[in-house]
A and B are shown apart, each in its own frame.
Chain A
Amino acid sequence: MPELTYREAVRDALRTALERDDDVFMMGEDIAEMGGSMAVTQGLLDEFGPERVRNTPISEMAIVGAGIGAAIAGMRPVVEIMYEDFLTLSLEQIVNQAAKHRYMSGGQVTVPLTIRTQGGAGWSPGAQHAQQLEAWLVHIPGLKVVFPSTPEDVRGLLWTSIYDDNPVVFFEHRLLYPVKGDVPTELEPIPLGKARTMREGTDVTVIATGPLVHRSLEAAQRAADEEGLSVEVIDPRTLQPLDDDALVASVKKTNRVVVAHEAVERMGFGAEVAAVLQYKAFDYLDAPIERVGAKFAPLAFAPVMEQYVVPHAEDVLAAIKRTVGR
């Protein structure tokens, strides 16, 4: 099995789609010569040319909206919003247009559009370049929402997203781009709506997304080393549709749950997971569901303040200990 970084894995899925399918093309700010602000699309311009790897003006509404129109006209555009903070500028097009065309047309219109974006704290970009806004999009019927945490998953899930006939908002995380991992030699599609068990365990289930998957794996190891606890870590990978069954099955085994994400805890994705589990697995829960997320503040510039707000492995470990202590 070859090893790729998360960044290379995204690029590999894009390159493969561009290579195999004339209907796939890309649009976004600085994605061509510069190769994207995160160097994800480096080299694709040289390989596929400026018609298919299109630098756009700074026009988030038009980037998403032009993607919608091209998708309705039969193509499979992949558009990039440079930072998920800038999704705010394109939300009208995502929420009112992309998500609703199929519905409002009574099933006539198909919008096979993939909207890639990235974000995340940990490098002091300040309050407008580090937010995690994935929960907003999960609230909108008609959208699919994907947030992979490993190279294998980001490659397989991006491929599936490009070939899904619905609009997909695809979240990548800045700190994950250099993370390495094994991937299958041949690109294998990974179905949307299937969780992955990252580590098996019997005492506590940690349901984590994005960078918190890695921080939770670290916490799980420390819980084993320090407390002799057996912690299961599950990554839902897609937030919409959500693999309720996998989460419930794990809870039935461990009876204790921690949900963890980098986004603000209040109204975060973990709130939905907690609600689903208390309803579908109420009789199996031996303790209140613990939530781990960012504190309720924007992200400050000064590294000590930024790091105080976002959750770390220690926070997940503390939550694990709290839930077994009940």
Chain B
Amino acid sequence: MSTVNSTNEVPGDVTNAVSVNTKFANVATASGAINEENVRSEGVDRRTLESYTGGRREPLVFVDYDDRDNSAATVHPNQTGEGFVTISNVLLDLTASPLTVTAGDLVRIHFTAFLTGIDDGQYATWGAAGSDSGGPNRSFNPADAIGIVFFPMWRIANPGSFVPLTNEADLNTTLVSPADIVINDSTDKTDSIAFCSMEGYLDSGNCVSAREVHGTWNYIHTGANVTIYEVNLNFRGPMVYEYNGASRVLHSPIWNAGRYDITCMDIPQSPTNRFGITVGNAQLSIMVMRGDS
């Protein structure tokens, strides 16, 4: 009982030691159970809340971030979208103190990534060489859905390897072009990706995109606990958003073939059929919160 119930002493009544002792014991008991019954409204404020020194802190269970610091931009040659690259120097390593996520927790993963550019200087999403080159047949060519896909992955087993986030598409699949990564609305979602355009301007033989994208993933966990050991950031591409007759997909085409051939869109500009992708700075963060949902 957190409130104190007692009756007054009445003049004329015999002084009863047990009664008085009980009253004080009642106070002691109530003071041992400090709760909403004895604390006034607005009685708990910042001063009474424990300072955050690490560990769980309602509603913030955990937060951590990393960025590439002053690492130089990294060049990744021969990219086709068939494989993926883990961006170096940006990693959330929780191995020393793994993070346990319980049912009801909200996991928020944020990342930004800066696409410096690609080595296809004449790159244009509707095709190279503009409207007049090679005749009028290409002048009405539309822009295609080409971009670099940035995505995080995590390691939730120890030992174990990095896997896509819960119910996200198989973004780490190794493909042999032409091939697809299927997108659906249940177990192959693309909520966590950031789709970055390579459009830019010609400079010294490169196409300078100079573009930063921001991807997020919010997830209210259900079911058994999950332990997070590491989170990293990756990219693959260029990839193309399409419909393959059955599903939405992220498609890895054979570059310089089909509509990307030299006589059509010429992506990348011949003779090469692969891309050098330059990635600049990147940041990655994770925040786990606990609250009502």
Tell me whether A and B are bound partners: no
Interface residues of A (CB under 8 A from B): none
